[in-house]
Amino acid sequence: MKAIRLHIKQNSANYKKEETVQNRMTFPLPPYSTVIGAIHKACGYTSYHPMQVSVQGKYGSLKTKMYKDDCFLNSLNDDRNLLVKMKNPDMLSSAYQIVATAQNTQGNSFEKGITINVINEKLLEEYRFLKRTKRRIDKHKKIINKMKTRLKEMKADENISAEEVKEFDKRIKHIKAVYDEYEKVKYTIPYSHFRTLAKGPKYYELLCDIELIIHIVADENTMNDIMDNIGNLTAIGRGEDFVEVLECAQTELTEVDEDVDYEKNDFDVYMPVEYYEENQSDMDIISKTDGGYAGGTKYFMPKDYVVEQIKGGMRKRVFNRVPVIFCQINYLDSGCKGIMLDKSENGIYTVLLA
């Protein structure tokens, strides 16, 4: 079986666990989805190209760093955090002006001026004017509700002709359209520039001195693309987690036709559970962590995904997850099923494709 072997080094990286927020924890090695995404970006793919991936490697140390987090809330609050005005309401960025800041965690009011620090008086007055405008619009729009009630009464009254009902209905729709357009221009659009910004300290884990061995198996065209575009592979993980590609070579994978002793190997590996369950009597694995699954740590590792439509026209990614054991392989007996070997000049690599 033909494969591509990548030998990569990184000074530091965070392979974020998606369920972590306050402390952005990292996987010990890049997930399959992270590797596949980086390869697709390097090749310029805009659609998924199926591939099998094996990931192993090691890191020197793990440290935690603090950073300042800027979080724009989904709704504009009048009583907390920072009131800011965005330069572009359709883009969350650092292009904003601070209008005012709340002094307390609760009980403040930007509109009423209660326990706030005013940074930009002019923009704060604009914000307050928009709030007053909204109340005036809502007050006048109550007329439409009264007219709709009257329309129901007209429909139930046999003495009122269908033509009169139709004309009254058209009048309601016209007035509503006028109010909606007025609200859009005078309130909705200008108000959308204001957002609530929450600032605070958060943390992320950082792996240092990383060395990775990645094997990729795909169709011939895809593998040729990877070889041709490996120079475009700049990062794995975050955009700033730069890589140094020490080797990109085609190799031939073989079955386990001999006993393999990994006494001097210090690479950890993601082993899909199916390989262990099939060959547990023919292998020995060790782990740097206590407990877990069969001496290793079990993860449900994301690989590829499909896009599903959800309410409101939104879409979400639904990942195919592979149960794996993060471990170190001590030895393999001849005849292990499904497991492949890459016999290189630097030693024998175990290839556990997922």
What is the percent of the chain where pLDDT is above 90?
Answer: 63
Nearest-5° Cα angle at 331, 327 to 332: 105
Structure confidence by residue, pLDDT tens digits, 171-228: 999 999 999 999 999 999 999 999 999 988 888 899 999 999 999 999 999 999 999 9
Mean pLDDT within 6-21: 92
Q: What local confidence, expressed as pLDDT, does residue 287 receive?
A: 63
Contact between 35 and 214 (Cβ < 8 Å)? yes
Whether the CA torsion 158, 163, 169, 175 is positive or negative: it is negative
Flag whether pLDDT at 291 surpasses 50. Answer: no
Which residues are bridge partners to 40 per DSSP? none
In this prediction, residue 18 has a pLDDT band, given cuts at 50, 70 and 90, of confident
C-alpha torsion angle, residues 292, 294, 300, 301 (rounded to 10): 110
Instruction: Sort residue 249 into left (φ over 0), alpha (ψ -120 to 50) or beta.
Output: beta
Residue of 333 and 290 predicted with greater confidence: 333
d(CA 23, CA 206): 11
Dihedrals φ, ψ of 164, to 5°? -65, -40
Report how far apart, in Å, the C-alpha atoms of 93 and of each of 22, 72, 153 are. Answer: 20, 9, 51
**Tokens 């001026």 belong to which residue?**
113
Nearest-angstrom CA–CA distance, 200 and 43? 38
Write the DSSP string, 41-53.
HHHT-SS----EE
**41-62 confidence digits (pLDDT tens):** 999 999 999 999 999 999 999 9
Q: Which residues contact 121 (CB under 8 A, 6 or more apart)?
A: none
Residue 69: pLDDT band (50, 70, 90) is confident
Cα 161 → chain centroid? 59
CB 182 within 8 A of CB 140: no
HSE value, Cβ hemisphere, 13 Å, CA-based, for 146 = 5
- Residue-level pLDDT at 88: 87
Q: What is the pTM of this model?
A: 0.72
* pLDDT one-digit tens code per residue, 259-288: 888 877 789 999 999 998 898 888 888 765
